[in-house]
Amino acid sequence: MRTADMRLLRGFLAIMLAGALAAGVPARAQQAPPPAVGVIKVARQPVTQSSEYVGRIAAPERVNLVARVTAFIDKRFFTEGAEVKAGDLLYRLEQAPFEADVEAKQAAIANVEAQLQNANLTLARARALLHTPAGQQSVVDAAVAGQQSLAAQLLAAKAQLKQSEINLGYTEIRAPIDGKIGRTAVTEGNVVSPSSGVLATIVSQDPMYVVFPVSVRAVLDLRQRYAERSGGWTHAVVVRIRLPTGRVFERTATLDFVNNTIAANTDTIMLRAVVANPLQAEGKGDGAERALVDGELVTVLLEEAQPVEALTIPRAAVLTDLGGDYVYVVDAGNRAHQQRITLGQSTPTTAVVLSGLAEGDSVIVDGIQRVRPGQAVSPSPAASQAGAGGPGAISPSSRS
């Protein structure tokens, strides 16, 4: 009897528990509050339009050092890879043969000068005797010819001396410009000549050029937009340089040249900007370095100097699926709706919206992962609105 009673009691409790659960679950579901989300109002903000291009650093001046005379290299005076100043002695060639040649030419001049002095005396005597019975015009004429011939020989001897002195000067190879010198191609003790090729190369360091191709369409758009600006469109843009490390160079560049020919295979035109390239502050003495190096591949940011007004939202509010980019918008009834948008140029923090949103729309930024389309939400101002306010530089997602 006791066992049967226990079974009846257990069954009754199970039925009561199942009923309570069936009645309690919907009640709790109905009482669950809508998820809290952070929203931001879509607003127009001044943004700086920016385009990215692949560029290359180029030294404005480049000098290849070559020997002007044939001689042995006596000594090298520079450190490979160091910076040199204009006029610094770099190589000294064997000078003794050229010094001897100069002395020989000086002796030749002294010999001709002595003969010319005698010829001048002879001419003076012939002219003095011309008005006497012993004088003859033919003697005067011969003396004049001899004197003029020796004068011409003296000029030739002086010219030969000057050439010898020039050749002696060529035995000292000096830096023609300020810049950084590369490695030497010929070491001490070797014979060099004008046909030996380049001994070393010097490239200037400050300032530097950055050259980059830009599509013709982009140039025409800038030219049309700033047609009335004083100085033209080249003065309406700012050029920044992003180094291979990802760091943006602290100094801006200025456009100073637009090529006169369009590349037919790419429909681009070559632009050039000039930028200062001082020694880095952390470098001292001979160990100081410069940020830009000749031939370096960099990213060029071509920014418009005048900001434009555009609809912006935080980049964190933008979601993407197979259909494209979208955001969640909260309507007047506090319900979330999926809204497709078209983005313009964006950064990791700020997105420019070209279409799909209107100024004043409430876009969900915080708590997006808890939202479903058509769901009721509890909106409040977003905790962080970084990137949504204030002017900023916008970089494009595509590169030219």
Question: What is the chain's mean pLDDT, rounded?
Answer: 83
Domain boundary among 202, 221, 255: 202
pLDDT of residue 18: 58
Whether residues 73 and 165 share a domain: the answer is yes
Higher pLDDT, 27 or 273: 273
pLDDT of residue 21: 54
Domain boundary among 304, 323, 339: 304
Instruction: Tell me, yes or no, whether 8 lies in a domain.
Output: no
pLDDT of residue 126: 76
pLDDT of residue 170: 94
pTM to 2 decimals? Answer: 0.66
Instruction: Tell me, yes or no, whether 15 lies in a domain.
Output: no
Whether residues 194 and 68 share a domain: the answer is yes
Note whether 395 and 301 are within 8 A (CB): yes
pLDDT of residue 393: 47
Cα–chain center distance at 160: 49
Window from 45-49, 117-121, 355-359, 367-371 with minimum mean pLDDT: 45-49
pLDDT reading at 167 higher than 90: yes
Instruction: Tell me, yes or no, whether 30 lies in a domain.
Output: no
Q: List phi, psi (to 5°) of 181.
A: -100, 145
pLDDT of residue 400: 41
Q: How many CA atoms lie within 13 A of 333 on its CB side?
A: 6
Residues 6+ apart with CB under 8 A from 264: none
Query: How sure is the predictor about 33, in pLDDT bands with cuts at 50, 70 and 90?
Result: confident
Query: How sure is the predictor about 94, in pLDDT bands with cuts at 50, 70 and 90?
Result: very high
Whether residues 77 and 176 share a domain: the answer is yes
State the pairing for strand pair 378-381/36-41: parallel
Window from 56-60, 126-130, 219-223 with minimum mean pLDDT: 126-130
pLDDT of residue 31: 55
Query: How sure is the predictor about 16, in pLDDT bands with cuts at 50, 70 and 90?
Result: low
Q: What's the CATH number where 197 sits?
A: 2.40.50.100
* Number of structural domains in the chain: 3
3-class SS string, 190-240 = CEECCCCCCCEEEECCCCEEEEEEEEHHHHHHHHHHCCCCCCCHHHCEEEE
Window from 157-161, 275-279, 396-400 with minimum mean pLDDT: 396-400
Query: How sure is the predictor about 137, in pLDDT bands with cuts at 50, 70 and 90?
Result: confident
- Collapsing DSSP states into helix, strand and coil, what is residue 384? coil
pLDDT reading at 251 higher than 80: yes
List the Cα angle 373/379/381 in 5-degree steps: 130
Q: Select the highest-mean-pLDDT range: 9-18, 292-301, 369-378.
A: 292-301
Instruction: Tell me, yes or no, whether 197 lies in a domain.
Output: yes
Q: What's the CATH number where 342 sits?
A: 2.40.420.20
Residues 6+ apart with CB under 8 A from 144: 123
Instruction: Give the Å distances, CA to CA, from 169 to 89, 91, 166, 173, 174.
Output: 12, 12, 5, 8, 10
Range of the domain at 318: 36-46+308-394
List the Cα angle 111/95/81 in 5-degree steps: 150
DSSP 287: G
Q: Mind giving me the DSSP string for 51-84?
A: EEEEEEEE-S-EEEE--SS-EEEEEE-S-TT-EE
Window from 41-45, 211-215, 241-245, 347-351 with minimum mean pLDDT: 347-351
What does the buried/exposed string (b/e) look like for 117-144 if buried means 16 or more CB atoms within 10 Å of the residue's CB? eebeebbeebeeeeeeeeeeeebbeebe
Whether residues 41 and 86 share a domain: the answer is no
Whether residues 359 and 288 share a domain: the answer is no
Whether residues 103 and 192 share a domain: the answer is yes
pLDDT of residue 360: 86
Query: How sure is the predictor about 88, in pLDDT bands with cuts at 50, 70 and 90?
Result: very high
Whether residues 318 and 293 share a domain: the answer is no
Domain boundary among 304, 333, 361: 304
Whether residues 89 and 191 share a domain: the answer is yes
Instruction: Tell me, yes or no, whether 147 lies in a domain.
Output: yes
Task: Find the helix or strand (DSSP H, E) in which 325 lies.
Answer: strand 324-330
pLDDT reading at 15 higher than 80: no
The Cα 277–Cα 209 span in angstroms is: 10
Whether residues 323 and 295 share a domain: the answer is no
The Cα 144–Cα 81 span in angstroms is: 62
Instruction: Give the Å distances, CA to CA, from 28 to 33, 102, 231, 242, 390.
Output: 10, 112, 71, 57, 44
Outline where the chain has alpha helix (H): 2-31, 96-129, 137-169, 216-225
Whether residues 197 and 81 share a domain: the answer is yes
Q: Burial-class residue 198 by CB neighbours within 10 Å (0-12, 13-18, 19+).
A: middle
Instruction: Tell me, yes or no, whether 169 lies in a domain.
Output: yes
Neighbours of 55 (CB within 10 A): 27
Instruction: Tell me, yes or no, whether 19 lies in a domain.
Output: no
Closest residue by Cα to residue 234 from 267, 274, 268: 274
DSSP 172: E
Whether residues 327 and 267 share a domain: the answer is no
Window from 9-13, 190-194, 201-205, 266-270 with minimum mean pLDDT: 9-13
Q: What's the CATH number where 217 sits?
A: 2.40.30.170
Q: How many CA atoms lie within 13 A of 238 on its CB side?
A: 14
Whether residues 274 and 373 share a domain: the answer is no
Query: How sure is the predictor about 269, in pLDDT bands with cuts at 50, 70 and 90?
Result: very high
Instruction: Tell me, yes or no, whether 71 lies in a domain.
Output: yes
Closest residue by Cα to residue 317 from 351, 359, 356: 351
pLDDT reading at 222 higher than 50: yes
